[in-house]
């Protein structure tokens, strides 16, 4: 059972996961690219269960580690420090927003398979990639709650998947196994289970960018149960390779 969660990345998703983990009684070790001293405020807010460290230290400290940085920086994940660990990959590929990764476009590999190739001695599990960071925090519920949501997880290693599933459960969601890392395309951006089902409200009038952000942060989420996640994933259509 995970007692200490290591986090590489402490932005929107990393800090939401840290809040859920601390609320669930886990210790968290947070890290980012700028150094532990830049995480003082977040650590103070999280309280005595949290501390900040370097990415390699967070990797070593975690019974289980979450990699939640921008995908384009995946080669900076500390492979040696992450060896023999289960690593949860929340990262999504957004070529239009953050630039293309030729290897992905040309090979048809899923982004998590690419991360697994870099972290060859770790067991990579895809999770927490299909819900936005506000709803990730606000939709979390204890086991058995009637409005508990589910989240897909994918991975190649059975034991690591079980470990990640237990974490998903502890943090407030029912895990739904959607297959291997090669199958994880079915929860990526643009697929039916990605973000939208958890977030069905729409603003009632046209908003400025600032108003839109305020609305987005406040907007309620929608519970998405395990059967619905299975149906949404099952209805996904695999994108063709661009050059095919
Ligand atoms: N935002 C969402 O709602 C959402 C939902 C699902 C999945 N995702 C995915 O989850 C990942 C994180 O998203 P986010 O919104 O949390 O991003 P974010 O707010 O931009 O945070 C990124 C974090 O990664 C850190 N970082 C960047 N490069 C690093 C490196 N080389 N080593 C260690 N830390 C590094 C950043 O630290 P510094 O600030 O110090 O550089 C920052 O703490 C992305 O891949 C995204 O596609 C996001």
Ligand 1 geometric centre to CA of 73 (Å): 10
Range 215-225 average pLDDT: 93
**30 is written with which tokens?**
């947070």
Give the domain ranges of the chain: 4-234
Residue 37 structure tokens: 């001293």
Q: How far is the CA of 8 from the centre of ligand 1 (A)?
A: 8
- Identify the CATH number of the domain defined by range 4-234: 3.40.50.720
pLDDT in tens, 77-103: 999 999 999 999 999 999 999 999 999
Most informative mutation of 6, 8, 9 for ligand 1 (most atoms within 8 A of CB):
9
> How much is the pLDDT for 56?
98
Mean pLDDT over the full length of the chain: 95
Q: Is the C-beta atom of 69 inside 6 A of ligand 1?
A: yes
pLDDT in tens, 188-217: 999 999 999 998 777 878 899 999 899 989
pLDDT of residue 244: 44
Q: Is the CB of 68 under 6 A from ligand 1?
A: yes
For the cut 90, the answer to whether the pLDDT of residue 243 exceeds it is no
Q: Is the CB of 74 under 6 A from ligand 1?
A: no
The 174-177 sheet, strands edge to edge: 50-52, 27-31, 4-8, 64-67, 86-89, 123-126, 150-155, 174-177
Q: From the CB of 35, is ligand 1 less than 6 Å away?
A: no
In testing the pocket of ligand 1, which one of 7, 20, 32 has its CB within 8 Å of the most ligand atoms? Answer: 32
Provide the 8-state DSSP code for 241. P
* pLDDT at residue 241, rounded to an integer: 62
Using a pLDDT cut of 70, give the percent of the chain over it. Answer: 98
Q: Is the pTM of this model over 0.95?
A: yes
pLDDT given at position 205: 85
Please calculate the CA angle 142-145-147 and round it to the nearest 5 degrees: 115
Pair 42, 196: CB distance under 8 Å:
no
User: Rounded mean pLDDT of 98-114?
Assistant: 94
Residue 242: pLDDT over 80: no
CA distance to 47, 51, 125, 180, 182, per residue, from 159 (Å): 31, 28, 11, 13, 17
Q: Per-residue pLDDT for 26 more than 90?
A: yes
Across residues 145-162, what is the average pLDDT? 98
């Amino acid at each position: 059972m995970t007692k200490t969660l290591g986090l590489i990345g402490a932005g929107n998703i990393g800090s939401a996961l840290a809040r859920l983990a601390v609320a669930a009684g886990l210790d968290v070790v947070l890290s980012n690219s700028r150094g532990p001293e830049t995480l003082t405020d977040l650590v103070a807010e999280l309280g005595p269960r949290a501390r900040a460290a370097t990415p390699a230290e967070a990797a070593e400290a975690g019974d289980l580690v979450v990699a939640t940085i921008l995908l384009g920086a995946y080669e900076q994940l500390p492979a040696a420090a992450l060896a023999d660990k289960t690593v949860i990959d929340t990262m999504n590929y957004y070529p239009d927003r953050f630039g293309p990764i030729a290897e992905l476009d040309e090979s048809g590999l899923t982004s998590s398979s690419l991360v697994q190739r870099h972290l060859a001695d770790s067991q990579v599990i895809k999770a927490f990639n299909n819900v936005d960071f506000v709803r990730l925090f606000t939709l979390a519920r204890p086991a058995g709650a009637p409005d508990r949501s589910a989240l897909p997880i994918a991975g190649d290693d059975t034991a690591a998947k079980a470990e990640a599933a237990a974490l998903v459960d502890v943090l407030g969601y029912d895990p739904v196994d959607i297959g291997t890392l090669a199958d994880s395309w079915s929860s990526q951006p643009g697929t039916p289970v990605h973000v939208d089902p958890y977030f069905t409200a729409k603003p009632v009038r046209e908003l400025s960018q600032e108003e839109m952000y305020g609305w987005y942060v406040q907007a309620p989420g929608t519970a998405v149960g395990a059967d619905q996640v299975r149906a949404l994933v099952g209805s996904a259509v695999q994108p063709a390779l661009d050059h095919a």
